[in-house]
């Protein structure tokens, strides 16, 4: 379990995402899970399970299945630090994963009839989720890796029973702050502008200069 890839992809002078620090994981009982809705170049949901001091992570492009037996693609991505589970905000333009991140859901999970690490290694993780939005059973199943394909594809399958689909309203509401994607983007946009290398003042000056230069022609 390493945060090397997480670290390599990010410039922590530019992004407010948490540093690559391993966390402590509960030894037994219940573990936490978190879902972040991420409006990057493509909108997706990042599904993360606390395991062995990190958050094992999957990007789910089409959202979660809610009818028993339905399956959705879940691409396994790099491990994230446990601290990432508290992150909501925007990743500034030009950075890895640039866009708005909403803390869409969080809660605890259990692996049905097993423990997280061995279930993950076996490629089948039957989950019991106790989140604010996601409640009930889903199963992650690893697909056979394709030759030369670096990313590992999994399927997230709704198991045991159907569940109610998430309403459009709940889908656009942070489980942490209650904010919409638009509100998160707005609030953080201000912070980012002031902390980026060019202050808004000089940018404005440059803009005015450019407009004047054009007008003179
Ligand atoms: Mn993401």
CB 36 within 8 A of CB 46: yes
How many Å lie between the centroid of ligand 1 and the Cα of residue 62? 13
Q: Output 25 or 100, whichever has higher pLDDT.
A: 100
Ligand 1 is an ion; its neighbours by CB within 5 Å are: 38, 46
pLDDT of res. 180: 97
Tokens 């904010």 sit at which residue? 179
Q: Which residues are 86's β-sheet partners?
A: none
Instruction: Output the CA 73–ligand 1 centroid distance in Å.
Output: 14
pTM over 0.75: yes
The answer, yes or no, to whether residue 39 has pLDDT greater than 60, is yes
pLDDT for residue 210 is more than 70: no
CA of 111 from ligand 1 middle (Å) equals 24
* CB neighbour burial string for 138-170, b if at least 16 within 10 angstroms, e if fewer: bbbebeeeeeeeeebbbebbbbeeebeebeeee
- What is the distance in A from the centroid of ligand 1 to the CA of 47? 9
Distance from Cα 123 to the centre of ligand 1, integer Å: 21
pLDDT per position as a tens digit, 122-178: 999 999 999 999 999 999 999 988 787 777 999 999 999 999 999 999 999 999 999
* Distance between Cα 194 and ligand 1 center (Å): 24
Ligand 1 center to residue 184 CA distance, Å?
Answer: 16
Asked if 156 and 70 touch (Cβ cutoff 8 Å), the reply is no
Q: In whole angstroms, give the CA distance from residue 128 to residue 137.
A: 5
Give pLDDT, residue 177. Answer: 95
Task: Tell me which residue has tokens 């809660």.
Answer: 107
Q: For residue 123, give the nearest of 155, 149, 150 by alpha carbon.
A: 155
Whole-number pLDDT of residue 190: 45
CA of 50 to the centre of ligand 1 (A): 16
Q: What mean pLDDT is reported for the chain?
A: 87
Task: Output the CA 85–ligand 1 centroid distance in Å.
Answer: 12
Residue where the block lists tokens 């994963």 = 97
H-type helices in 89-180, by residue range? 116-122, 168-171
24 alpha carbon to ligand 1 midpoint, in Å? 23
């Amino acid at each position: 379990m390493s945060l090397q890839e997480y670290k390599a992809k990010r410039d922590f002078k530019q992004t407010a995402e948490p540093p690559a620090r391993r966390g402590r994981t509960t030894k037994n009982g219940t573990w936490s899970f978190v879902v972040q809705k991420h409006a990057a170049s493509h909108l997706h949901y990042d599904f993360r399970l606390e395991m062995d001091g990190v958050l094992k992570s999957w990007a789910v492009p089409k959202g979660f299945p809610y009818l028993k037996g339905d399956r959705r693609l879940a691409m396994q991505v790099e491990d994230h630090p446990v601290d990432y589970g508290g992150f909501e905000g925007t990743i500034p333009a030009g950075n890895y994963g640039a866009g708005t991140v909403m803390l869409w859901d969080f809660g605890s999970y259990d692996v049905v009839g097993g423990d997280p690490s061995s279930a993950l290694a076996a490629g089948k993780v039957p989950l019991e989720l106790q989140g604010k939005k996601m409640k009930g059973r889903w199963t992650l199943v690893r697909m056979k890796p394709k030759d030369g394909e670096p990313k590992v594809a999994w399927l997230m399958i709704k198991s045991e029973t159907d569940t109610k689909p998430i309403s459009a309203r709940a889908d656009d509401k942070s489980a942490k702050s209650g904010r919409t994607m638009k509100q998160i983007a707005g609030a953080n946009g201000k912070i980012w502008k002031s902390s980026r290398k060019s202050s808004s003042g000089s940018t404005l000056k440059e803009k005015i200069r450019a407009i004047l230069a054009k007008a003179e022609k």
